[in-house]
Amino acid sequence: MKIVSIKSLIFPEVKVIKFERYKDFRGYFTESYRKSELFNNPNIDFFKNFEFLQSNESFSKRKALRGLHFQWNPYVGKLVRTLYGHIIDLFLDIRLGSPTFGKIAAYDMPNSQIESFGEWIWIPPGFAHGCLSLEKTLLEYFCTGEYNPKCEASISPLSEDLDWSLCDYKLKKIYHKFAFKTKLITHKDKIGFSIEDWKKDKRSDNFIYGQKIT
């Protein structure tokens, strides 16, 4: 695995890791994951104290909306990539006391076979995660904790009190064009918490800004 670049997004805890594809006349080959590279690379200290325990695959039809999900006991960080298709990836700060609590942002994640790189996005614990598919899309994501259905919750991606002020304007515009019209959202996701209701829920104490979460 050859890492091309690592960058922080509007929330410095959320990272994009680009890795090289080796292209020739047949197509390309790449190592999308190598444990020693990700966990021993001096530029990737944000994986310290984590390990990936579960791998998930998610297929979505065009205009499907998922999220905004988060877990605790165990906490689950997610390393996500688009295998094919195109999503707008969503991440929301749910850490009580954070200066960006309740703010949501997005990252454009198409997969193009002509690019000389692939990429992962890292969504650490303390952020809710979701996505809107702009075409038929297959996602892969590695998780730092095994799924526990008793300790999960979600903020509705349609909640009126989400703060979009930090989000890229073009992505926000695309999101709002589709999200409030799509029928491809589960009832469970649709009726998820609002920001205010989550803040009042005692389980929100599992996510405190500055608290060490592993």
pLDDT tens per residue across span 107-128: 999 998 888 899 999 999 999 9
What is the DSSP secondary structure assignment for residue 104, as one 8-state letter?
Answer: E
pLDDT at 92 over 80: yes
Does the annotation count 141 as an active-site position?
Answer: yes
| % of the chain exceeding 70 in pLDDT | 100
Query: Which residues, in sequence order, are CB contacts of 159 under 8 Å at separation 6+?
Result: 192, 193, 194, 195
pLDDT tens per residue across span 181-197: 999 999 999 999 999 99
Out of 69, 107, 129, 175, which one is annotated catalytic?
69
Q: Does domain 3-205 have CATH number 2.60.120.10?
A: yes
Q: Which residue from 8, 2, 22 is spatially nearest to 116, judged by alpha carbons?
A: 22
Out of 75, 107, 141, 175, which one is annotated catalytic?
141
Does the annotation count 147 as an active-site position?
Answer: no
pLDDT at 136 over 80: yes
**Rounded to 5°, angle at Cα 20 from 19 and 23:** 150
Query: What are the residue boundaries of the structural domains of the chain, listed by start?
Result: 3-205
Quick one: pLDDT band at residue 89, thresholds 50, 70, 90?
very high
pLDDT at 178 over 90: yes
Give yes or no for a cis peptide into 166 (omega within 30° of 0): no
- Residue 186 confidence (pLDDT): 97
| % of the chain exceeding 90 in pLDDT | 89
Q: Which residue from 14, 201, 185, 209 is spatially nearest to 94, judged by alpha carbons?
A: 209
Q: How far apart, in whole angstroms, are the C-alpha atoms of residue 201 and residue 70?
A: 14
pLDDT at 41 over 90: no
